[in-house]
Structure formats: structure tokens, C-alpha cells
Structure 1
Amino acid sequence: MSDEKIYQVLFLCTGNSARSILAEGLMNHLGRGRFVAHSAGSHPAGAVNPLALQTLSQLQIASGNFRSKSWDEFAQPGALELDFVFTVCDKAAGEVCPLWPGQPMTAHWGVEDPSAVEGSDETRLRAFMDTAVILKRRIELMLALPLATLDKLSLQRELSSVGKA
């Protein structure tokens, strides 16, 4: 059994139906057990967008256990202690977030909302895949960081720059 730290990550968006769901699935897949991702929304839609689930399936990521939930679940006494919190939509980034247990590192990794794209099913699915590719690249950049050797200020700077990549 490894003594390596397992990092808890929360991805936030307003509705928790598309971008944050994609990020949760990607981080859990790419983090290979070293990172455990969760997602939530400030005003959850109550359902996960089927195109988000279809996109995850196309990327060969299990898509059966996702649900749209409130960020309040992660801010209550006794909630999971978080290491990182990332906003993936501009609207959620501008909202007043709850206080998170564990004083996690935070950064904004905003991406366009694929749910807002109109057009054919193919056009809409392409928007979801484009969003997933952007989030995947950002997660890969984060996973490549030497987390154990970076001081807090350097880590914060690096995480913020990943959101601009």
C-alpha cells in the first residue's frame, strides 16, 4: 500500500450538468487514484446533460455515476477536506463561494459552455468534445506539476496559469 497523498479536487460550475461533470470524469480517469474528483454547482440543474455523458463514453470514461448537485454538500461541517477547487465557468467564478474545509488551493479554469451551442446533434456533440479536450489538457498540465516540491505561492501561480492554457 502506498503512502502517497490522495488529493481531493472539486470542479464548480453554475448548473453542474456539463463542464464540471466532464472535468470530474476526466480527473478521476487521468488522476489514476492519486486524485479523486467531485463536481458541484451553485445552482444545480438537477440533471446531467446527456451529451456530457455521451462525450465521456466516447473518451472511454465510465459515465454512470454522475449527478448534478449543490456545492453546499462540500461546504457543510464534516464535509470532505478538499485540496483543490476549480471553477470551470465564468459565472461560478464571479459568485461568492462557500468556505471550503481544508483551505484548498483555488483557480479559475473557465471554458465556454457547450450546452449553449445550438445546431445539429453533431455540432452540439462536437462542442462537448472540444470542451472535454480543453479540460483534459489543463488536467494533464496540472498532473504534471511537482506538487510535493512546490511551495503554496508557486503552486497557486502554476494552477492559475494552467487555466489560461
Structure 2
Amino acid sequence: MHTQPYNVLFLCTGNSARSVMAEALLNVLGKGRFKAYSAGSFPSGQVQPIAAELAREAGYHEALRSKSWDEFATPGAPHMDFIITVCDNAAGEVCPIWPGLPITAHWGVPDPAAVTESEAARRHAFQSAWATLRQRVELLVSLPVEKLDRIAIQGELRGIGQQGQHER
């Protein structure tokens, strides 16, 4: 029986918006049952201010930082149970070999940091990405993970990634 929190790593390329928002959401909504982390294949080195603001408003008060996925592929790094890519670039990249062969899924979300028009347009893009990620994280935390086998969990996680696809 799994007694510790399930460790989840959200991956993106820059680790500045979508993956850090998913990390914050799961750490708040997972209520200790899940421990979320985020990283990027080519981290930008900074978290987008609107992403950090949304995380704070949701009750996440730990420091968010942009970091490389290499941090999680080293000896002594937390063992990951699930790895979820949230950007299409990261989904297509060659990932490190993760110890323990975690369950993987792709939850593609349009990049709000790519919106460079007005402040209102940027905020709307971040809020839209936040809403999509929140819906998916809520579905994840409602899964009876403890009662499902690996194949069922993988199918459920991949199905969650299809939620909100019609809205694009």
C-alpha cells in the first residue's frame, strides 16, 4: 500500500508558467496526498509574474522557481510516481531516464507566456491556462489512484489530458 504522497513532476520547456502553475495547483488541491514539482528542459530561470500571482491567490505560498529537469534525474532526487508534460515541445523531447519508470502523460496547454499583446490579453491567456490546469488537477485528485493498477492510472491520466481540448 502506498502511504507516502504521490510525487508528480510537471514538465515544460521553460518552466516559467504552465508547469509551475500545475505544481502550485496540485500542491494546494492535493491536500498532502500528492507532492508536486515542476521543471523544464530549457528553463528560463524566472517564473512569469502572472503565474506566481495566480498561485498565491490560490493559497500556494512556497517559492516557485524555474529549474532544470536534470535536478530530478540525479541520485537523491525525489522518486517520481507520475510525470506529466504540459507543453507540446516538452512532450516531443527526449526526456531523461527516470528512476522507477514513473507513469507518464501529456496534458498540452497553450503557452500563456507566448501572448505578447496587451496586459488584458496576457492576463486572459494566463487565466485560461490556469482554468484548464485546475480542471485537470481536480480530475487527478479525484482519481482513486490507490485502487487502480498502473495501466488504468496511465489511461486515466492520458484521458485527463484530453479535457478542455475542444476549447482550443
Point out the structure with the larger helix share.
2
1:121 pairs with 2:119: yes
**Counterpart residue number, 2:103:** 105
**Counterpart residue number, 1:164:** 162
Count the aligned residue pairs: 162
Q: Deviations over 1:74-117 (max 9, x none)?
A: 00122211101000000000000001122211000010000011
- Partners of 2:115 and 2:125 within 8 A in 1: yes
Mapped to 1, the partners of 2:151 and 2:21 lie a distance apart of 28
**Counterpart residue number, 1:52:** 51
Q: SS of 1:68's equivalent?
A: coil
Residue 33 (structure 1) shift? 1.0
Mapped to 2, the partners of 1:75 and 1:60 lie a distance apart of 29
**Counterpart residue number, 1:19:** 18
Alignment-mate amino acid for residue 130 of structure 1: S
Alignment-mate amino acid for residue 160 of structure 2: V
Mapped to 1, the partners of 2:77 and 2:97 lie a distance apart of 11
Q: SS of 1:45's equivalent?
A: coil
**TM-score of the superposed pair, with normalisation by structure 1:** 0.94
Mapped to 2, the partners of 1:5 and 1:73 lie a distance apart of 21
Alignment-mate amino acid for residue 94 of structure 1: G
- Partners of 1:28 and 1:37 within 8 A in 2: yes
**TM-score of the superposed pair, with normalisation by structure 2:** 0.92
- Partners of 2:28 and 2:59 within 8 A in 1: no
**Counterpart residue number, 2:34:** 35
**Counterpart residue number, 1:83:** 81
Moved more, 85-94 or 139-148: 139-148
Q: SS of 1:148's equivalent?
A: helix
Taking every aligned residue pair, what percent have the same amino acid on both sides? 54
**Counterpart residue number, 2:5:** 6
Alpha-carbon RMSD across the aligned residues, in angstroms, is 1.3
